[in-house]
Amino acid sequence: MPKKTTLPNGIRVLSDRVAGVRSVSVGVWAAVGSRDETAGQGGLAHLIEHMMFKGTTRRSARVIAETIDATGGMLDAYTTKEATAYYARVLDEHMPVALDLLADMLINSTFAEEELAREKEVVLEEISMAEDMPEDLVHELFDAHVFAGHPLARPILGTRESVAGHTREDILRFVGRHYTPANLVIAAAGSVDHGRLVDEAARLFGGMSGPEPPRRVTRPLAYTPGRVAVEKDTEQVHVCVGGPGLRRADPRRFAMHLLDTIVGGGMSSRLFQQLRENRGLVYSTYSFVASYTETGVFGVYAATRPERVEEVLEVIGRELGEMAAGGIREEDVDRAREHAKGSLMLALENTATRVGRLAGAELWREPYLSPGELIDRIERVSVQDVRALADELFAPERLSVVMLGPVAAEKPAPVRRAAAAGRRREAAREAMG
């Protein structure tokens, strides 16, 4: 079982020892992301993540890279809507080196003006790259629509204007407010001794201090379903259909995982079979879910030629409507359950996956579920649980459609209720016996 120690300054240190491996994944997680930015700060959390690699009082950016390369390991980071993570994967003998690097970056980064100017250009290129990837861009547009008016709507990368305007003083203020001991979790998984990890963490991070981080502002989601089209010069129309999902702590999240698998989680899923295998309408289609503090999002994605987009939307609407009307079978849930258990156990062979789960549970102050406990929760999900969730989430009045590609631009408007057709057909079949 994982072990936890809280340092005197409030930093939480966790470890999960995995037998039979030589590697260790170790990192520092901060409970701050794009949703914690204020007006004018768009993309600042992500820019800071970049700048942590650009030199400290002890190491230049090149020396940081050379130090991790000399171990044969890797050093990386990512920013989400609600968290920022810095992590390394190395052989166990190199864990002190990796942790020293992470501490140096988080405590001693200089955020030099010349490095900041260069890195802002890098992020601007990242924004341009994202805009050239319509599959990614339509998801961002979908989030912006579903979360409109809510902090979760903020794009992680920010905008060109906001990124260009960030200063070194902005970075120092943001780091001083959010990168404080109470907001940090150090976690490691793999070939790790908890006592040694705590000793190293205390030596390297024990001198950190800072105020209590600002309390995250949570608010209900004011969602208005609709249909949005954004014109872009692409070969295909990229489509997302869906709406609000479940918050992170919702006990129905295990049913949500199975429903996601049934809808678009693999080659046997409803959408893959109907859109690709049976009709040849798409090459790529899948479903997706994400959960946050007070709400979440679910949706399905597909890409097709412009002349076929309405047919694709009709098929998606019909499939969601039929599932909402009770069209999920016991065997669908059984197959999704076995898929979930298998994919979970395979993922947990990866120390990076294990440490991410461990840190996430602590970051959100939620109970950590062991692999056995996770399997038990999955086993408890019934077909009635999945049907009830489909009935709630796939109700036509909750669904939005967001399209990107060679289509006439549409401002938000009520969605065409294709899903209702599925419900009507299902009801008619039941009436006929």
Q: What pLDDT does 314 receive?
A: 97
| Domain termination residue (choose one: 172, 205, 238) | 205
Average pLDDT over residues 330-349: 95
Mean of the pLDDT values across residues 251-277? 97
Based on the fold, state whether residues 307 and 399 are members of the same structural domain: yes
Residue 211 within any structural domain of the chain: no
User: Both 12 and 116 in a single domain?
Assistant: yes
Which one of 37, 49, 322, 426 is the catalytic residue?
A: 49
Model pLDDT for residues 202-243, shown as the tens digit of each residue: 999 999 998 998 888 888 999 999 999 999 999 999 999 999
Amino acid 217: pLDDT: 80
Q: What is the per-residue pLDDT across 130-177, written as a single tens digit (0 to 9) for each?
A: 999 999 999 999 999 999 999 999 999 999 999 999 999 999 999 999
What is the mean predicted confidence (pLDDT) over 362-377?
94
Q: Label residue 290 by pLDDT band (50, 70, 90).
A: very high
* pLDDT at residue 421, as a whole number: 35
pTM reported for the whole predicted model? 0.92
pLDDT at 221: 94
Q: Distance between CA 396 and CA 386 in Å, rounded? A: 17
> Is residue 373 annotated as part of the catalytic site, yes or no?
no
Mean pLDDT, residues 247-261 taken together = 97
Domain boundary pick from 205, 240, 261: 205
Q: Which of 175, 205, 235 is the endpoint of a domain?
A: 205
Q: Are residues 150 and 248 in the same domain?
A: no
Confidence grade of residue 276 (pLDDT, cut at 50, 70, 90): very high
Would you say residue 412 lies in a domain?
Answer: yes
Residue (of 323, 281, 319) closest to 302 by Cα position:
281
pLDDT computed for residue 412 by the predictor: 62
Asked whether residue 213 is assigned to any structural domain, the reply reads no
- Pair (97, 147) in one structural domain: yes
Determine the angle formed by the axes of helices 383-393 and 253-264, rounding to 10 degrees.
Answer: 80
Find the domain containing 379 and state its range: 227-431
Same domain, 175 and 255: no
Residue 231 lies inside a defined structural domain of this protein? yes
DSSP code per residue over 111-142: --HHHHHHHHHHHHHHHHHHHT-HHHHHHHHH
List the CATH number of the domain containing 299: 3.30.830.10
Task: Evaluate whether 64 touches 105 at the Cβ level (below 8 Å).
Answer: yes
- Residue 360: the pLDDT is 97
The mean pLDDT of the chain is: 94
Structure confidence at residue 411 (pLDDT): 64
Position 212 in a domain? no
- pLDDT confidence of residue 413: 55
Residue 419 lies in a domain: yes
Residue 258 is predicted with a pLDDT of 98
Q: Is residue 16 part of a domain?
A: yes
Domain count, the chain: 2
Same domain, residue pair 237 and 362: yes
Q: Based on the fold, state whether residues 190 and 232 are members of the same structural domain.
A: no
CA distance 26 to 18: 13
What single DSSP character describes residue 109?
B
pLDDT tens digits, residue range 5-20? 999 999 999 999 999 9
Average pLDDT, stretch 366-392? 96
Same domain? For 153 and 97 the reply is yes
d(CA 249, CA 230): 34
Residue 219 lies in a domain: no
186 and 244 part of one domain: no
Per-residue pLDDT at 425 exceeds 50: no
The verdict on 387 and 424 lying in the same domain is: yes
- Give the pLDDT score at 70: 98
- Please list, in sequence order, all residues whose beta carbon lies within 8 angstroms of the beta carbon of residue 383, skipping any fewer than 6 positions away: 328, 329, 330, 332, 333
Are 27 and 88 contained in the same domain?
A: yes
Q: Are 285 and 271 in contact (CB under 8 A)?
A: yes
273 and 133 share one domain: no
Query: Which residues are bridge partners to 256 per DSSP?
Result: none
